[in-house]
Structure 1
Amino acid sequence: MARHIDYGNLMHTAMRGLIKTVLQDVAEHGLPGKHHFFITFDTSHPDAELADWLSDRYPNEMTIVVQHWFDNLVVTDDGFSITLNFGNAPEPLYIPYDAIITFVDPSVEFGLRFESGEDGSDDQPPEPEGHKPEERTESKDAPKADAQVVRLDTFRK
């Protein structure tokens, strides 16, 4: 049996740890400055907890905004719970870190996207994104561009 270093899963673990650290700071001190988050998560994840009407409305994924009004942010080792306002109705949510699909802070143009493999396992490292979450229009069947090797001495004077 060949042994290998699973960089994809190690990277996912590290980036989820980053999200945990950021949320823990927000839970203790509030959102600093203009920081706010768009968090897209898998609503069908077995450990995600949300009201039935929300899971019916968003059966696959949902994006929440943590900005002006949120309450009861509690950060644990496996996920976080938060109460958000949906049409003047406060709703508690529990989101496991491994249910997170994207985490974006548009105030500083920071974003992470967690890709998962065809078999459902996460095998790609998170991909930095721009300042806003966007849908990808790239077809899975589209041909991939070949990698190019660039010699560093091309840029030396």
Structure 2
Amino acid sequence: MTEMHEAPDTIQEPRLWSDGRWTAKVIKNEDDDGWAVAMTLQGESEPALVGPWTMGRDKKNPKPLDVSAFHTLVKTASEVLRRHEQQLHAQLNKSVTIVAADGQRLRVALNIVPDEEGATATLRAEDAFGQEVARVPVSPAFRLTAASATAWADSGFERPR
């Protein structure tokens, strides 16, 4: 039995292109007389990227979208999303390496899980072999530094206040 896959809804108009995943829409730039292009990922309410768009030959209307421009815009918008995800991951996942009072080298990690109801966070310590030594819940506002990680280890891994 052969599976049937529907082709994504494609739109190829001068001011609107879509491949079913990304949509490029040329819009009037509200700040001046020029034009802008907004790149929106399917299912998102806000564009991932809004940037200037080239004027056409008549210097009044926008240059029409084409396949090359669309692919470049998709690549750029995808990169913007990827960088945003990396930045968010870095904000939510931090780690430091310390040497505890007993001479043991530890990697201490703070992992924050965002939630509309209220974020949660976990502080975790691993030994040099990656084995978990301790894990405690902490406030998402906990500031992980080498000093706070060392103090936690030296306290016998008691939950920080």
Looking at both structures, which has the greater relative contact order when contacts are Cα pairs under 8 Å and sequence separation is at least 6? 1
Larger radius of gyration: 2
| TM-score > 0.5 by shorter chain | no
Larger proportion of strand: 2
TM-score by length of 1: 0.24
TM-score by length of 2: 0.23
